[in-house]
Amino acid sequence: MLDWDDLRFFLTLARHGTLSAAAKVLHVSQSTVGRRLNSLETALAVRLLNRTPDGYVLTLAGEEVRRKAEHLEAEALALERDVTGRDTRLRGLVRVTCAETLAAHILAPSFAKLHASHPDIMIELIPNPRELSLAMREADIALRMRQPEQHDLVVRRIGNIAFGIYATPDYLRDQGALDFEAGCAGHHLITQLDDTQEMTQSAWLTDLASRATVVLQTSSHEAAALAAASGGGLACLACFRGDGEPRLTRVPAPTAPPSADILLLVHRDNRDTPRIRVVLTHITDTIHELAAILQPGDGVGSDARAAG
């Protein structure tokens, strides 16, 4: 008899391609993912995934099993959402996913207030640059800075994030004045990888400082902020993060960096579940209350921090 959990682990590994990525999504060890795959392949007496230098790739048999397993998964998730939607209790787990810096500096501090009002609601906060699937119940609520590709989602714009160029005063003194007309030759850039939500702002910075050298790329906004704060170079950061870092100063630029909308996402089948509705409202209120910090004025350095 097939074990549904084995199929679930197989699907996650097939979607994400590596044991480490699948283990992170499933909140288990890599060895557990490998053991579940071996269990399923043994039960079916067929190889489902081939391991390559670039990750796991489906075999022909794996493609067929994946198609049928995804059908079973869709039915199970639809049933789960239907049952969950009838739960009228203000208690239980709500999974929230967003970018790392939003999680650490905006949402995590706010959840103490939520817990005081609703002590039986438990939040699982999942900082992840990858877009977790709400349809597959990897999360219940998502905050994102670009439009989703998933269907069956309710999307609401609840705020906006301003960005700026940041560096340490020592870096600016040692590397010399920023000459944007000359492409900032001789300067160092810290940028985001192309698959992250802040890639639009990184592309703007690399175009503006076209003769500067990219010395660090990262999928973590927080890593970029800390690298800049350690004197590593120029970074385009969310103003609420850059202005709040005492080691950084905001640098005037000839044009404003592109801002980013804050989008609140929930699966349409879950939006009226009471505990999820409470968390949606709390997140919306939090973002509205912090609007002046998320979208500060055009001041530079300590003046910008005072405004925030």
Are residues 236 and 161 in contact, defined by beta-carbon separation less than 8 angstroms?
A: no
Same fold, 92-161+260-294 and 163-258: yes
Contacts for 71 with CB less than 8 Å, ≥ 6 apart: none
The amino acid occupying position 189 is L
End-to-end Cα distance, the chain? 59
Return the CATH fold of 163-258. Answer: D-Maltodextrin-Binding Protein; domain 2 (3.40.190)
Q: Is the pTM of this model over 0.85?
A: no
Give residue-wise pLDDT tens across range 216-259.
Answer: 999 889 999 999 999 999 999 999 999 999 999 999 999 999 99
User: What is 4-85's CATH topology?
Assistant: Arc Repressor Mutant, subunit A (1.10.10)
What is the rounded distance in angstroms from the CA atom of residue 267 to the CA atom of residue 262?
A: 17
Q: What is the DSSP letter of 46?
A: S
What are 157-189's pLDDT values in tens digits? 999 999 999 999 999 999 988 999 999 999 999
Phi-psi bin for 17: left (phi > 0), alpha (psi -120 to 50), beta? left
For the chain, the domains span 4-85, 92-161+260-294, 163-258
In which band, very low, low, confident or very high, does the pLDDT at 74 lie, cut at 50, 70 and 90?
A: confident
Task: Give the domain 92-161+260-294 fold.
Answer: D-Maltodextrin-Binding Protein; domain 2 (3.40.190)
